[in-house]
A and B are shown apart, each in its own frame.
Chain A
């Protein structure tokens, strides 16, 4: 296990920051995470030492930049156990999912084909598919949930009910309730029916070991900023044979071999053909550094830390009579709850007044109310640097209760 005090020292945002005049307790890591100094330094190194473009120059700086981008791609590929040429850099998880929608589905789906989703998906794993349905005449159907979860059984049931399923897109870990799905088991069912399995890894890849080859899913997407990497970079991992067949979404410089006055063009090989325009090179370099950092800490350790904090927080929260917890057994660094009779947003504002950052609302999963029967929740989410003391500070404020208007009148 890593030394959490030593780890925290590496994060400028954990260095005695205050919010509302109180020590900052950041419990909104499912939304975004802090960056260690070495990631910030890596980006600064680009801007201050090797600022130039990739694939576009004959001078030394470009050579250094190309090496850095290649190195980052290797690091990411190793991190999720994929081949280097299966890793596409995108602007984030959202762009990666849109790339699959427009690059793969637009060519391969037709009227009356079915895309299977769950009601607990984030907007980024719903709306691109809705758009594809508008464009192709395909339709989205929802997998029934079992106690709020997608299981191998519920997926089998969905396949029994629906013919023509061509694609299944599910979050490996949900962003509201934090339930993990059996990606490997579900992928097997999806493949038995000759459909494509898309895994939204936004909440799973930062928190647990991910083995793309072992999971056998067709596509995996995730964002850098939720795993200590810079904002504005994400990854699409796709099986090489699918990436080769897939159309490009963005076209422009850097992704083509040649183009002619006739209107024809020859795209580069995957993954380069998907990376049109100037890449977000400093963020890609930062992502590589973040992946190295996570690897050094050990993803097993990070996951174990999440589980320990989850169990600790649940045990404490269960003693609070007026707190309703929606996911007591998900153990993935996310706890969604409400105080009886209090709007989630009001509770979050009260916590803000105590220096505690949590998220309230539907967390971009705007169909989740159908699953949990509440219009909104307060969400606490931890990461590798969250301490038991921070959970204590949070639980103390929850136990203290207090009038939600204290946030406005007692400061």
Chain B
């Protein structure tokens, strides 16, 4: 997804993922790892599920209560992480973190997640925009 997206388009993507999240449901089947995430300064309290096969993320979904930014950013993370190898996923998460903190980042791998490029304007919400992504990082970090 190119960075030349207009503000209106980015807003529409965020609202779409928060109003109709694709991945907000309990796992359909077995073999998922659950990471519980909650925030001290927001209502966010979610379980994020990952199904991994060796080096690859097969599926990801989440359930719980979250604000607009957490909902949409977690939903987009679930979309993007599916099918990625651990290395690809961690690289993507790293670039997302750089974007959050206004550091140079590789936009090519962020796809729709680029819509959160303005999060630093509301610094108190960076935690919300990264909560699902941090769950992914946690599940992947200890895997060989």
A353 proximity list for chain B (CB < 8 A) = 121-122
B68 proximity list for chain A (CB < 8 A) = 343, 346, 404-405
Decide yes or no whether A375 CB sits under 8 A from chain B: yes
Q: Tell me which of B41, B65, B67, B119 contacts A408 (CB under 8 A).
A: B119
For B117, the closest partner residue in chain A by CB is A408
Q: Considering residues A353, A361, A375, A405, which has the most beta carbons from chain B within 10 angstroms of its beta carbon?
A: A405
B124 proximity list for chain A (CB < 8 A) = 349, 352
Q: Considering residues A20, A352, A403, which has the most beta carbons from chain B within 10 angstroms of its beta carbon?
A: A352
B119 proximity list for chain A (CB < 8 A) = 408
Decide yes or no whether B42 CB sits under 8 A from chain A: yes
A405 proximity list for chain B (CB < 8 A) = 11, 14-15, 68
Decide yes or no whether B43 CB sits under 8 A from chain A: yes
Decide yes or no whether B48 CB sits under 8 A from chain A: no
Decide yes or no whether B58 CB sits under 8 A from chain A: no
Q: Considering residues B14, B65, B69, B128, which has the most beta carbons from chain A within 10 angstroms of its beta carbon?
A: B69
Task: Render A377-411 as a binary contact track against B, CB cut-off 8 A, 1 for contact.
Answer: 00000000000000000000000000111011101
Pair B118/A408 contact, Cβ less than 8 Å = yes
Tell me, in angstroms, the Cα distance from A328 to B41 when the chains sit together: 26
A409 proximity list for chain B (CB < 8 A) = 7, 10-11, 118
Decide yes or no whether A344 CB sits under 8 A from chain B: yes
Decide yes or no whether A345 CB sits under 8 A from chain B: yes
Decide yes or no whether A91 CB sits under 8 A from chain B: no
Shortest distance between the CB of A361 and any CB in chain B (Å):
6
For B66, the closest partner residue in chain A by CB is A343
Tell me, in angstroms, the Cα distance from A344 to B68 when the chains sit together: 10
Decide yes or no whether B82 CB sits under 8 A from chain A: no
Tell me, in angstroms, the Cα distance from A360 to B118 when the chains sit together: 21
Q: Tell me which of B14, B41, B65, B118 contacts A375 (CB under 8 A).
A: B65
Chain B, range 38-91, C-beta contacts under 8 Å to A: 41-43, 65, 67-69
Tell me, in angstroms, the Cα distance from A376 to B67 when the chains sit together: 11
A352 proximity list for chain B (CB < 8 A) = 122, 124
Task: Render B109-141 as a binary contact track against A, CB cut-off 8 A, 1 for contact.
Answer: 000000000110110110010000000000000
Shortest distance between the CB of B63 and any CB in chain A (Å):
15
A375 proximity list for chain B (CB < 8 A) = 43, 65
Tell me, in angstroms, the Cα distance from A376 to B119 when the chains sit together: 22
A343 proximity list for chain B (CB < 8 A) = 43, 67-68
Shortest distance between the CB of B18 and any CB in chain A (Å):
9
Pair B14/A407 contact, Cβ less than 8 Å = no
Tell me, in angstroms, the Cα distance from A409 to B42 when the chains sit together: 21
Tell me, in angstroms, the Cα distance from A403 to B69 when the chains sit together: 13
Tell me, in angstroms, the Cα distance from A361 to B68 when the chains sit together: 14
Shortest distance between the CB of B40 and any CB in chain A (Å):
9
For A344, the closest partner residue in chain B by CB is B43
Pair B11/A345 contact, Cβ less than 8 Å = no
Pair B122/A407 contact, Cβ less than 8 Å = yes
Tell me, in angstroms, the Cα distance from A116 to B119 when the chains sit together: 44
For A350, the closest partner residue in chain B by CB is B122
B14 proximity list for chain A (CB < 8 A) = 405
For B7, the closest partner residue in chain A by CB is A409
Q: A343-B68, A346-B68, A375-B65 are in contact. Are A408 and B43 (CB under 8 A)?
A: no
Task: Render A170-214 as a binary contact track against B, CB cut-off 8 A, 1 for contact.
Answer: 000000000000000000000000000000000000000000000
Tell me, in angstroms, the Cα distance from A180 to B124 when the chains sit together: 32
A376 proximity list for chain B (CB < 8 A) = 43
A408 proximity list for chain B (CB < 8 A) = 118-119, 121-122
B122 proximity list for chain A (CB < 8 A) = 349, 352-353, 407-408
Pair A349/B65 contact, Cβ less than 8 Å = no
Shortest distance between the CB of A266 and any CB in chain B (Å):
43
B69 proximity list for chain A (CB < 8 A) = 346, 349
B43 proximity list for chain A (CB < 8 A) = 343-345, 360-362, 375-376
Q: Can you name 14 A-B pairs with beta carbons within 8 Å?
A: A343-B43, A343-B67, A345-B43, A346-B68, A346-B69, A349-B122, A349-B125, A353-B121, A353-B122, A404-B68, A405-B11, A407-B122, A409-B7, A409-B118
* Interface residue ranges, B against A (CB under 8 Å): 7, 10-11, 14-15, 41-43, 65, 67-69, 118-119, 121-122, 124-125, 128
Q: A345-B42, A345-B43 are in contact. List 20 more A-B contacts (CB 8 A).
A: A20-B121, A343-B67, A345-B67, A346-B68, A346-B69, A352-B122, A353-B121, A360-B42, A360-B43, A362-B43, A405-B68, A407-B121, A407-B122, A408-B118, A408-B119, A408-B122, A409-B10, A409-B11, A409-B118, A411-B118
